[in-house]
Amino acid sequence: MEKMDATGLAEKVRLKEISPRELVEYSIDKIEKLNPSLNAVTSKRYEKALFEAETRDFTNKAFAGVPILLKDLGQEQADEPSSSGSKLFVNYRAKLSDNYVKGLENLGFVILGRTNTPEFGFKNISDSQFNGRVNLPMDLSRNAGGSSGGAGAAVASGMVPLAGASDGGGSIRIPASFNGLIGLKTSRGRIPVGPSSFRGWQGLSVNFALTKSVRDTKRLLAGLQVCQLDSPFPLPLLSQDSLNSSFPKGLKIAVQKNSPVHSSVSDSAKKAVDKLAHFLATQGHEVVELDNLPVDGLEAISSYYVMNSVETAAMFDDIEMLLGRSVTKSDMELMTWAIYQTGKGVKAKDYSKLIQLWDRYTYLMEEFHQEYDLIISPATADVAPKHNQLDLSESLIESLNHITDYNQKQQEELIVEMFAPSLALTPFNQLSNITGQPSISLPVYRTASGLPLGVQVTAAKGREDLLLALAQLLEDRELLCYSNEIK
């Protein structure tokens, strides 16, 4: 069963070749065996899941009885823990289920628990002080990525066939690249939002999943997609015909191998892109290597960090109301504290200008896609990092501990410095979050040592169908190198 995808398992349930309870018991056994070494799962609801597996009606459900794990960041399920990787929420239980979670349940999934994530999802690795680090299944000395690192490790190791994930700046695509999985970041407005939050990070953050087959990705997108008129970003639905269409002929495809923030990119990441670019060229597509995209990468990431700090300051207002007290530096990790303090000083007029700048970026990329159908780039600039590889320097730690002593400009510069090592590893991801475009990490490459590296493919807003058609073509040609546990 561990080498079957969710669609195949659901079909076995439909044919009564296996029961939902047997699927749940199998996943529970895998989690109990593997989690001590991976630390992917942070909370469990086994008894409830077994009861649901025996009592729920799975008739005509796309993923009937298939076990799944949620990410422990958002994705709230009523009366279940939701820690966001923070000790502030050690005893917190969600009051309501998010519409995304309800959507998963309506598709027939049985939820087994929640997966590890960095505190509040701020990192591209998962190593929260509250829940500990997540180990990469194929090399335990490396991190499985973030912020959906627990989800990546859970799927790559075979605990579950797919897992809930979210992406506000690469947090689906990064662990997909590191773990040899498919990681689709959907268009803004594609997946249901609310009722607890309707515009996470101003719409940059979206929920979806990490998967190990194209048909699972397609089926999940078809089942979850909405045109949600009570959300800030309604989007027309994709038709079943478009979701299952073949990859078109004669496309013009841009190749971006240079880092948009002028950091180094490994030879392996460039080879991964070259592999896909060469294949597309042999299929008759026009493949054009570009030095830069229309958006200034350094300007974009600077604005991204400002947004992140403002939204964090707003979040802590809500947390303080929930706790009935003020929060202190000792309540959180140092990086979180620095982001929070920086956000408190941003002026409303400057934040308004930032949102307008992002509207300009969106316009520029829509214009760009009038000429280029797709953009291919590294999903990550290198393989999964070693544990402690991205640790902060002692001098920077000292500065962050005294961040309230600095003026606003200096604080923002410290945030840029704080994220510089991790940004260098993942510089290609954030733009599609800002512009709302769909972007996918596909497992097309392995290094000589066997570590996965994904290639990122980005399309115009609303064109997930084009990404999935390419993914299907690559899978059909056996050009996707899935993780070791997956066939």
Domains by residue range for the chain, with CATH: 6-250 (3.90.1300.10), 253-425 (no CATH)
Percentage helix, strand, coil for the chain under 3-state DSSP, each rounded to 5:
45, 15, 40
Which entry of 84, 126, 128, 147 is annotated as an active-site residue? 147
Asked whether residue 242 carries a pLDDT value surpassing 90, the answer given is yes
Q: 451 φ, ψ to 5°? A: -85, 135
Q: What angle do CA 311, 294, 374 make, to 5 degrees?
A: 95
Asked whether residue 202 carries a pLDDT value surpassing 90, the answer given is yes
- C-alpha separations of 146 from 142, 291, 405, 431, 472 in Å: 12, 28, 30, 17, 26
Given a contact cutoff of 8 angstroms between Cβ atoms, the answer to whether 458 and 374 are in contact is yes
pLDDT tens-digit map of 277-331: 999 999 999 999 999 999 999 999 999 999 999 999 999 999 999 999 999 999 9
Look-up of token digits 């929070």: 340
pLDDT tens-digit map of 29-53: 999 999 999 999 999 999 999 999 9
pLDDT mean across residues, the chain: 97
What band does 485 get if pLDDT is binned at 50, 70 and 90?
A: very low
| Overall average pLDDT of the 197-213 stretch | 97
| Overall average pLDDT of the 167-189 stretch | 98
| Percent of the chain at pLDDT exceeding 90 | 98
335/317 Cα distance (integer angstroms): 18
Is the peptide bond preceding residue 147 cis, with omega within 30 degrees of 0? yes
User: Tell me, what DSSP letter sits at residue 442?
Assistant: E
- Is residue 71 part of the annotated active site? The answer reads yes
pLDDT tens-digit map of 140-152: 999 999 999 999 9
- Is residue 61 part of the annotated active site? The answer reads no
Look-up of token digits 């065996």: 33
121/331 Cα distance (integer angstroms): 16
What band does 484 get if pLDDT is binned at 50, 70 and 90?
A: low
Per DSSP, helices labelled H in 95-212 are 99-106, 149-156, 173-179
- Is residue 171 part of the annotated active site? The answer reads yes
pLDDT given at position 2? 74
| Percent of the chain at pLDDT exceeding 70 | 99
What band does 421 get if pLDDT is binned at 50, 70 and 90?
A: very high
What band does 487 get if pLDDT is binned at 50, 70 and 90?
A: very low
Is the peptide bond preceding residue 137 cis, with omega within 30 degrees of 0? no
User: Tell me, what DSSP letter sits at residue 480?
Assistant: -
Which entry of 12, 71, 123, 212 is annotated as an active-site residue? 71
Indicate the burial class of 347 (C-beta count within 10 angstroms; 0-12, 13-18, 19 or more): exposed
pLDDT given at position 486? 36
Which entry of 171, 187, 268, 439 is annotated as an active-site residue? 171
**Widest Cα–Cα separation across the chain:** 66
How many Cα atoms occupy the beta-carbon half-sphere of 482 within 13 Å?
Answer: 22
Asked whether residue 73 carries a pLDDT value surpassing 60, the answer given is yes
